Structure 1
């Protein structure tokens, strides 16, 4: 029975070692430079879990086995005492199983999957790109054409969180074609009312306007961003050989035109925030 208990403990330690190895691998798949307070908490939880698991496996089991060896050495060998010793080992095996379960529960509690933050997802998706250019119409604004901007400009509420995360670590430029100065003012007021400028990551000078689609393409070429985000497939195609990465936003699934061109129904869906 004692040999069986040792074997069970050995197998538990092997399983625990493999379990911790997998969790460690998953935890450190995010680079240290991207660790936030939640990730640091997970690392601290790892250390505490390992410590308590070691204590649970070391103290009670080790003491009971030592006492069992002393009891067996001091008791005369006979059939009666042998039966009594065997019986006394049964509660110890049950106790060991309980300790194994407790140890596993401790590890499970501390190794709950840590969901990455939106900021971490944005950085990963953008491959640490530091400059991003993005069209306004159909991506940031509800409106689909310059003609609609002559009447109103409305910021899409679902894109705000992603937009603000991008501005935290990227140099972001917003741009589009307008038909008059009033449309420009209307767009700037809508962005300001939505709080896009509140964080300081995006300023009004980085909202650019032009009178033609080619003008937007020219802006992108001059700025040389790491990423350009647009809805016009022709502009995406023209810029594919000049820009490192592009995101084609389209409600209709399109074939990938180049290795550096990605597609998604919306900016927020590309980052999985909806």
Structure 2
């Protein structure tokens, strides 16, 4: 029974160690306070069985030394190790209830996925906007509602530049208006000066190379292929799965799916 008790205790220590690691990564003060409470109660539960056992031993000693007292009372003594096993079980229940696996926030997922990259460039068509061609922008510009949360998280810790090929000045105004209406500029992380426009696909590639980002996000496989040897990481956004252009190129059906937000 002593070996079983030790195994339970070692299991609890491993669980607490893993929990401590997760809590400090999440930077949650409340969770750390909860950990302190759990450790205290676990200690109490592990400690408490010893006291009744000591009192039981004292009573046994007193009984054996008193003449005329029946020794049959010893049959009611709790076997050694039973109380300890019960305490281990209760302590583990406390840990299980108070410390369920900590689910990372979207911000933590974004930072992890981007490998802590600090500068990101991203094309608009097919990634941020519903439209997929410059010709469509001459009629309308629509920001994907599903991408907004991820986009705002990126702007919180990354220097983000958005860029696109347009055919006229009206298209530029239409795109900026759509981004403004969607609230992209209200977070403070992205300003209109960081939305860049060009007349050709090569112009976008030139922007990216000049900015030297840690990540570039694009929906054009040719641009992705051209930039693979110049940019540290790239994300190819395409609803159709394609062959990986290079080891530093990742792919996903959408920006939000790459970060697992939907």
Which of 8, 30, 51 is the equivalent residue of 1:12?
Answer: 8
In the aligned structure 2, how far is the partner of 1:82 from the partner of 1:271? Answer: 70
In the aligned structure 2, how far is the partner of 1:69 from the partner of 1:114? Answer: 44
- 2:72 aligned partner: 83
How large is the Cα RMSD of the aligned pairs? 2.1
TM-score with structure 2 setting the length: 0.92
**TM alignment of 1:183-194, pairs within 5 A:** 183-194=171-182
Show structure 2 runs of 5+ residues with no match: none
Deviation at 1:164, TM superposition (A): 0.3
Q: Is the CA contact 1:237–1:257 (under 8 Å) kept in the aligned structure 2?
A: yes
Q: String of CA shifts for 1:37-94, please: whole Å, max 9, x gaps.
A: xx33333322221111001111x3121011111011111289x84432221326x976
- 2:132 aligned partner: 144
Show structure 1 runs of 5+ residues with no match: none
Q: Is the CA contact 2:22–2:102 (under 8 Å) kept in the aligned structure 1?
A: no
Q: Is the CA contact 2:9–2:88 (under 8 Å) kept in the aligned structure 1?
A: no
Q: String of CA shifts for 1:9-62, please: whole Å, max 9, x gaps.
A: 43432332233234345545x3xxxx44xx33333322221111001111x312
- 2:19 aligned partner: 23
- 2:36 aligned partner: 47
Which of 209, 218, 227 is the equivalent residue of 1:230?
Answer: 218
TM-score with structure 1 setting the length: 0.88
How many residues are paired up? 260
Q: Is the CA contact 2:143–2:182 (under 8 Å) kept in the aligned structure 1?
A: yes
Q: Is the CA contact 1:42–1:110 (under 8 Å) kept in the aligned structure 2?
A: no
